[in-house]
């Protein structure tokens, strides 16, 4: 591709990539090829992926219906000695604190923090994953030590 064609595509806002999938227009590739949501803002909150946005939408509806309360985004918690985790959501349901993760790609760090959560935390952790293009569901529930 010649330089003029590349500049024309960049002016149009198109993301141009080389044969290895790396962006040519100085935009860093997203981690694990996560798809940024096109409508990233919901009630003033921005989300790094479509899945996280969709889970947030569901939780906001549950809060409006009175099923949950005190919904928080990107809540930092301690999950063990010298280990912090920024969970996607936290809320209160039936008087109990619940943490909720919208998970696409699982990596080793995530699996380690999940084990630490089960060992050191007493709350519940719910993990949602994508089931189809627009749907998601809770696929795993971890009950911390009681």
pLDDT digits (tens, 9 = 90+) for 3-29: 676 677 667 666 656 555 556 555 555
Are 79 and 138 part of one and the same domain?
yes
Are 101 and 71 part of one and the same domain?
yes
Query: Which pTM was predicted?
Result: 0.70
User: Which residue reads 């923090």 in tokens?
Assistant: 113
Are 55 and 125 part of one and the same domain?
yes
Are 101 and 80 part of one and the same domain?
yes
Are 26 and 45 part of one and the same domain?
no
Q: What is the CATH number of the domain that holds 59?
A: 3.40.1350
Number of domains into which the chain is organized: 2
Residue range of the domain that includes 110:
41-143
Are 71 and 103 part of one and the same domain?
yes
pLDDT digits (tens, 9 = 90+) for 95-119: 999 999 999 888 899 999 999 999 9
The DSSP output letter for 32 is G
Q: How many CB atoms lie within 10 A of CB 24?
A: 13
Are 97 and 128 part of one and the same domain?
yes
For the chain, where are the alpha helices, taking DSSP H only? 3-11, 50-64, 108-120
- Note the pLDDT of residue 93: 93
Distance CA 73, CA 47 (A): 9
């Amino acid at each position: 591709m010649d330089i003029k064609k590349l500049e024309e595509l960049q002016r149009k806002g198109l993301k141009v990539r080389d044969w290895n999938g790396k962006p040519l227009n100085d935009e860093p590739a997203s981690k694990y090829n996560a798809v940024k949501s096109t409508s990233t803002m919901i009630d003033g909150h921005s989300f790094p992926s479509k899945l996280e946005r969709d889970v947030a939408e569901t939780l906001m509806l549950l809060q409006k219906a009175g099923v949950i309360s005190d919904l928080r985004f990107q809540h930092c918690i301690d999950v063990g000695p010298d280990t912090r985790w920024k969970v996607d959501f936290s809320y209160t349901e039936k008087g109990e604190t619940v943490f909720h993760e919208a998970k696409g790609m699982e990596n080793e760090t995530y699996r380690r923090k999940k084990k630490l959560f089960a060992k050191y935390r007493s709350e519940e952790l719910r993990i949602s994953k994508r089931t189809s293009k627009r749907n998601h569901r809770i696929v795993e529930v971890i009950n911390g030590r009681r």
